[in-house]
Structure formats: structure tokens, C-alpha cells
Amino acid sequence: MSKTILITGASSGIGRSTAHLFAAKGYQLILTARREDKLHQVIAEIQARYPVDILPLIFDVQDARQVQEAIQSIPTERFPTIDVLLNNAGLALGMGPIDQGDLNDWDTMIDTNIKGLLYVTKAVVPTMKSQGYGHIIQIGSTAGKVVYQNGNVYCATKHAVDALNQSMRIDLLPYGIKVSAVNPGACETEFSLVRFKGDENRAKSVYDGFQPLGPDDVAQTILYLAELPAHVCINDVTLTCLDQANAIYLQK
């Protein structure tokens, strides 16, 4: 029987690349995002290449009710198991000193990166518990290991992901559920375009002068973790491009 991965934030970037890679390995996909058109575009690209079953679920991870209803709507006859949950949906908004932060930006980052991850996890864990196995993989960040100037609230949300990764692994120990985190450094996706609210030049300049990770690099790491033997759990992986040492030091 094919395995199934549920990926939040599959409409672009790391989530999209991971969907492609797992489809190539024969996984069935449950793909989620808010932008229906973008998600359907990703699904069409994958279905043109791989004969896998794909279920799109359109919801905002910030809305606990939408999350619960969407997860409950998964047809169990088509998707009898959820083998891997990739908690990937997330974002940074703005970058500036703490006293100049935008309250809406703070709320959105906290509600998406922390609360959204919690809502999706809570909705999926009962299925994994009843299976007696499963693997939850969080996308953290180098910003969840070291804080950088003007990164305050985004860094705090990713430190929270790091803490939740550790505590979930303890809580789910009795149920055979693996819990891991993949913490990327600078990776060229829509991330900076979202952070700088559509300012293409500013977004592009983030990646000037060095070769960042691509989303496929991160997807390869996620696949490696997911395909380890059943008794092995990598707790946490931090990966950067060659020119980056951590969230602060970048050789441009």
C-alpha cells in the first residue's frame, strides 16, 4: 500500500518541492494551502508526471475550525493512513526593530507559524495514534536556533517551533510517532517576497551575492528523514548553503 504525506503550504516553495519529490517516490499526497489556483497548478504539474492520488484541501491554518473540518473531510477509504505530516505552512512579515513592529504582522506570524502548526498537529495526531505510527516533520529555521537583528517576532515563532518539536517528541513517545524538525537557512522561494509584501527588488536582494539553498535541497532532506528505518528518528537537522554559517553570518 502506498504511503501518504500531508503537506501544509504546498502551493509554493519548500512545500511544493516536497510534494514533487514524494510523488516521485510513489507517495499519495494530501496538499493544503489557501491559494486554490496555485495549489491546483502544483497538482496539475505533479499529475502530468506521476500517477499518484492527490487530495487538495483549501484552508487557512490560522483558523482552528477550518483546520479541523478539512482534516475530518479526508476520505479514509482513499487515504487510509497519514504516514507523514509536514508542518511547513509559515511566513515572515516585515523586518525591523521591536518598537516599530506592525501588530497585524506579529499576530499573523504567531497565528500561522505557532498556532497553525498546533491546530494541524492536533487534528492529525488521532489518526497517527490509531495507526500506531506516523512521522511529524516541522519546518523550523536557522532563525529558530539563533536570533538575528530585526528578526524578533519571526525568530520567536521559530524558537517556539523548536520547543514544540522537542515537547511533541516526548508527548508522542508512547504511540510510536516520530517527531523531527528540518531547519533551513536562506532558501530562495516566495518567502522574501511575502516578507517584504511584494517588493520584488528587496526580495531579490536577499539572495544577491551568494548561492542560497533551493527548495529542492530542503525537500531532499525531508525525504531522507521520512525514509529512515522505522526504529530511527532524526530529531533535528539544520541545513544552510555553503555561504551561510547560521542565521547571522552570511558570506556574500
Ligand X SMILES: NC(=O)c1ccc[n+]([C@@H]2O[C@H](COP(=O)([O-])OP(=O)(O)OC[C@H]3O[C@@H](n4cnc5c(N)ncnc54)[C@H](OP(=O)(O)O)[C@@H]3O)[C@@H](O)[C@H]2O)c1
**Residues identified as active-site:** 154, 158
> What sections of the chain are H helices per DSSP?
13-24, 36-49, 64-72, 103-109, 117-131, 152-171, 191-195, 200-205, 215-226
34 lines the binding site for ligand X (CB under 6 A): yes
In 10 A of CB 30, how many CB atoms? 25
241 lines the binding site for ligand X (CB under 6 A): no
**In the complex, least distance from residue 26 CB atom to ligand X, rounded to whole angstroms:** 23
In DSSP terms, 177 is beta-bridged to: 134
Strands 54-58 and 84-87: unpaired
202 lines the binding site for ligand X (CB under 6 A): no
Is the Cβ of residue 82 or residue 250 nearer to ligand X in the bound state? 250
Q: Which of 6, 19, 89, 95 binds ligand X (CB under 6 A)?
A: 89
Binding mask 145-174 for ligand X (x = CB under 6 A): ------------------------------
Stretch that binds ligand X, among 12-20, 43-51, 197-205, 236-244 (CB under 6 A): 12-20
Q: Are 152 and 93 in contact (CB under 8 A)?
A: no
Chain-centroid distance, C-alpha 49: 23
d(CA 150, CA 196): 13
Task: Tell the residue number behind the cell numbers 499573523, with chain if given.
Answer: 108
94 lines the binding site for ligand X (CB under 6 A): no
Strands 236-239 and 177-184: parallel
Q: Which of 112, 127, 180, 244 binds ligand X (CB under 6 A)?
A: 112
Please name the amino acid found at residue 132.
Answer: G
Q: Which of 19, 23, 31, 33 binds ligand X (CB under 6 A)?
A: 33
Q: Which of 61, 71, 125, 222 binds ligand X (CB under 6 A)?
A: 61
Interacting residues with ligand X (CB under 6 A): 8-15, 33-35, 38, 60-62, 88-91, 112, 116, 139, 141, 184, 186-187, 189-191, 194, 215
